Structure 1
Amino acid sequence: MKHFRQLTLAVVATLAIAPAFAQEITGPDTSGKKFAVVGGYTLAEPTKNPMIAGERTNVDGDGAATLSANYYITDNIAIEAWGAADKFGNRVRTPNGKVASVDTQPYALSGQYHFGNTQSIVRPFVGLGYFEANTDGEKAEPTGPLAGQHIGVETAKGAIATAGVDVNITPTWFARADVRYMHDTTGQPNVTVDGANVGKAELNPVTVGVGLGARF
């Protein structure tokens, strides 16, 4: 996905230079602010393409709106609830073309460490937590090899790692860019066709997002 690669490069470059800016530039004082909410847009791309019914598949990525809420235990330690406000649509292809589609909607709870202090204009952060990705809308292509059959995909669950950066604009408003990696640690969700197990939906997606936040 071209847009995913472009946004990934931009966010990675921002994360790479953020520590230097965090040390050298001071900005609005955000001390005393315990809560933050962020609305943004995120692109998700699977890092693995699973074997389904003996064939290697290719699963497309997609973009969706996301929301997060943070509670700051201290100026540096926070708890974040993050999730997709809409569903990511994933098309499933084989060498013979598109065979199915499925929607995913991940949500996660993480602990975070924010570098710098309350007067840093640029504040990188890292996080680690637990995610689940609900799946629904499984559909077979009407003219494909799975036409007329019922497809099911179990919920993915596991660990999520986050790296990001906040850029403080005012004591209340800030911009955010982040990268997240979701790794299914349950043995991968089963994929069924008409009730029969035909493979594992091991996608382990990476997401890249940007957003605007408010702190209060």
Structure 2
Amino acid sequence: MRLNALPLALIAGLAFAPTAFAQDAFSTETSTGKRFAVVGGIGLAEPTENTWMGDTDRYDLDGSDAATLSASWYLNDHMAVEAWGAASTFGHRVNGAGGKAGSVDSQPYAISGQYHFRDADALVRPFLGLGYYEQNFNDETVTSTGDLAGQRLGVETAKGAMATAGVDVKLSPSWFARADVRYLGGDSDLYLDGQTVGEAKVNPVIVGVGLGARF
């Protein structure tokens, strides 16, 4: 799993937090009634099923990290509709019995409904969500000496339900830090040389942290 971006995201968030508090220390502004929010962050994706099963061979996928971005519209202080996705691609290593067999990039995006608990001005606000996602796979490559050498790898777009659980920590009436976990359930077909040879079962859990703004 690539973790290079995570420390940078955490450092940036920690560095920004005191500034956000200082700017609003004497403000009478409230978070109540703010109807839009955007969150930028980093997500760490780890497959839970992690099985690519062909007719005779079995492969698995490494985890990865990517930048994420979401935009939410709040119907009221508690209910929101969120559009979420990876702003960059997750880069995965494909492993076979003989070691690395290839690589593939993925980029999920989703829309979901969420319920945010507690008042809008609460310091800590948990939330739950349920929605629909699609995860595109592209840039499939194989190694020259691996189990898939000489073949053309393809992975169909995965589609299914996405469940979300998270928490927002208020930094000011307009800024907040977010941590969440998302489960993406859905299989896709696995192709070799244009022929369907099995299923790609990934069903990843994506753990994310980010910084958000409400307005």
TM class by smaller structure = 0.7 to 0.9
Residue by residue over 1:171-215, the C-alpha shift from the partner in whole angstroms, topping out at 9 and shown as x without a partner, is: 11100000000001xxx2111111121110110000000000010
- The corresponding residue for 1:108 is 110
- The CA distance in 1 between the partners of 2:48 and 2:205, in whole Å, is 7
Matched letter for residue 34 of structure 1: R
Q: Pick from 67, 80, 83 the counterpart of residue 82 of structure 2.
A: 80
**In structure 1, what residue type is equivalent to 2:36?**
F
1:78 CA displacement: 0.2
CA distance in 1, matches of 2:93, 2:55: 16
Residues 49, 56 of structure 1: 8 Å contact kept: no
> Aligned partner of 1:207: which letter?
I
Contact 1:107 1:133 in 2 (8 A): yes
Unaligned runs of 5+ in 2: 8-28
Q: Is the 8 A contact 2:2 2:64 kept in 1?
A: no
| Counterpart check, 1:43 vs 2:77 | no
2:10 match: none
Contact 2:79 2:114 in 1 (8 A): yes
Give the secondary structure class of the aligned counterpart of 1:189: strand
| Matched AA of 2:106 | T
Q: How many residues align?
A: 192
State the partner residue of 1:163.
Answer: 165
Shift of 1:118: 1.7
Correspondent of 2:181 among 179, 182, 191: 179
Per-residue deviation, 1:2: 9.8
Where structure 1 has 5 or more consecutive residues not aligned to the other structure, the ranges are 8-27
Equivalent residue, structure 2, for 1:195: 194
Shift of 1:55: 2.4
Does the 8 Å contact 1:41/1:65 carry over to 2?
A: yes
Determine the C-alpha separation between the residues in 2 that align with 1:127 and 1:190.
Answer: 27
Give the RMSD, CA atoms, in angstroms: 1.9
TM-score (norm 1): 0.84
Contact in 1 for aligned 2:33/2:76 (Cα 8 Å): no
> Which residue identity lines up with residue 116 of structure 2 in the other structure?
H
